[in-house]
Structure 1
Amino acid sequence: MTRDGGSGATGVDPQQLWLGHDRPRRGRKPAFSREAITEAAVALADAEGLEAVTMRRVAERVGAAVMSLYSYAPDKETLLELMVDHVSGELPAAPGPTGDWRADLRAVAHLQRDLMLRHPWLPAALSTRRVPGPNTLAFLERALAALRPTGLDGVARVEAFAQLTAFVAGHVAHELAQASAARSAERVAAESRYLAAVAADGRHPELAEVLAAPGRALDPEATFARFLNRLIDGLGTE
């Protein structure tokens, strides 16, 4: 995104972003750091959502002039890259593959889900970012190591990790939407009556069978684990 929040045409230069920021600066020591700016942006997104993150709001949080931030993050797109990699640093270091790639991959997915639930803006951010930073790369290493026993080649392992991440992000986004929806008892009852009427019309036998079956308890952890197992089992068939 550009400085005013619009889409940028040039994108982020990953070498400049991740490998050039540690060069010593000449002149007076700055009053704040790129890490402080990133932490302020993350705190703002956690509290108010991704749309609330603007250079002006972040500058207010760190007590700086807006223009002074642009030498650290020239646009919101760059700031978003910094934010994603910053929270990825919360992911614990890999203990090393156990040899059970399915169990290791489940652990990876559950860590991702926990991170996204702590930072609800993260699923949306992951859909637009493209430049893995050091913390993201460290977690990618963990996932690729976990997938090695599958026998998949390098490209296929990267694809599998991307598929896993997309699944987790989509699932968490759905979880968060469901949790925030105002589902009153009246609304639930109305939906149940509607589905019962549809199932009884004779034109939806598959739906009627599903609705007639005993329902599962609404357990977000169990639902995630069930869907995740299906995905991982599918990876093992390649």
Structure 2
Amino acid sequence: MATRTPLSRDRVLTAAVALADREGIAALTMRRLAADLGVEAMSLYHHLPAKQALLDGVVETVLAEFLGTPPDVDDWRARLRGQFLAARAVMLRHPWAPGLIAAGRSVPPSVFAYYDGILATLVAGGFSYHLAHRALHAFGSMPLGFVQEVFSPDAGGDKTDADLEAMAAALPHITAMVASEIHDAGDPTLGWCDSQTEFEFTLDLLLDGLERLRQNAH
């Protein structure tokens, strides 16, 4: 007789991430997850007492994939660039994760430790805490591997041709920008304006600009 693998919080969360990867975060329910694990839904509540606890645990599980040891390099720009691109590789594996992280009501303790490490890298690289604070604001969500979208082609929901024509007339430059910046489907993207090329362009622009500010501060 086969021995059933004991249910644990880690096992539940690993299965939850796998389910979201296959079918999207909307498919992640306690009932569906229990079915995947071959258990009754009520048994999940011993490990995760509510749906929000499940979602928080899923976020922690994804973040744990890159919140480990940073790249072993001395240059602060290369170190942070490596960290942020490693985070992005994780987000591209789990494209539903940025939306879940952005909508989160709490910040996992591991994220505070991660950002403390980023500050340590900046200070060791010659930044004052004042300039390092500004750097964190400039980076936004990039340390977590994605950028939050400001505009989106479908931000307004379903629109008729007349609605789109009216929008083009009222907002000609935004409309032209959206039309010109729709990316090729082969570009690894987490949103219409969050392509790999643009992520790296913005990251390098910030790192180089911060280096100039650091040099001028001395």
TM-score (norm. length: structure 1): 0.58
Residues in 2 aligned to 1:163 and 1:132: alpha-carbon distance in whole angstroms: 21
Q: Does 1:78 align with 2:78?
A: no
Tell me, in whole angstroms, the C-alpha distance in 2 between the residues paired with 1:61 and 1:81.
19
Q: Which residue of 2 aligns with 1:89?
A: 64
Cα deviation, residue 106, structure 1 = 0.9
Q: SS state of the match for residue 199, structure 2?
A: helix
Superimposed CA distance per residue, residues 94-114 of structure 1 (whole angstroms, 9 cap, x where no aligned partner): 256633211111111101111
- Does 2:114 correspond to 1:130? no
Going from structure 1 to structure 2, the CA distance change for 1:69 and 1:156 (only over 3 Å counts) comes to: farther
Distance 2:57 2:134 in 1: 23
Task: Say yes or no: does 1:31 pair with 2:6.
Answer: yes
In 2 relative to 1, CA 60–53 (structure 1 residues): closer, same or farther, beyond 3 Å? same
Question: What percent identity do the matched residue pairs reach?
Answer: 35
Unaligned runs of 5+ in 1: 1-29, 179-193, 200-206
2:206 to 216, 221, 231: 231
- Please name the residue that 2:146 is paired with: 169
**CA-CA distance at 1:41 after TM superposition:** 0.7
Q: Answer yes or no: is the 8 Å Cα contact 1:91–1:115 preserved in 2.
A: yes
- Map 1:97-116 onto structure 2 (within 5 A): 98-116=73-91
State the AA in 2 paired with 1:87: V
Which structure is larger by alpha-carbon Rg, 1 or 2?
1
Q: How does 1:196-215 map to 2 (within 5 A)?
A: none
Whichever residue aligns with residue 27 of structure 2, its letter is A
Q: Which amino acid aligns with 1:227?
A: T
Change in Cα spacing, 1:78 to 1:149, as seen in structure 2 (3 Å) is: same
Where does the alignment leave 5 or more consecutive residues of structure 2 unmatched? 154-167, 188-194
- TM-fit CA distance, 1:80: 1.6
Deviation of the 1:43 alpha carbon: 0.7
- TM-aligned CA deviation for residue 90 of structure 1: 2.2
Write the letter of the residue equivalent to 1:120: P
Contact 2:147 2:199 in 1 (8 A): no
Report the residue type matching 2:199 in the other structure: F
Please state how far the C-alpha of 1:35 moved relative to its aligned partner: 0.7
**Superposed CA RMSD:** 4.0
Hey, what's the Cα distance between the residues in 1 that align with 2:54 and 2:134? Answer: 26
The count of residues paired between Structure 1 and Structure 2 equals 178
Q: CA deviation at 1:34?
A: 0.5
Q: Specify the alignment match of 1:59 in structure 2.
A: 34
Deviates more, 1:122-131 or 1:105-114: 122-131
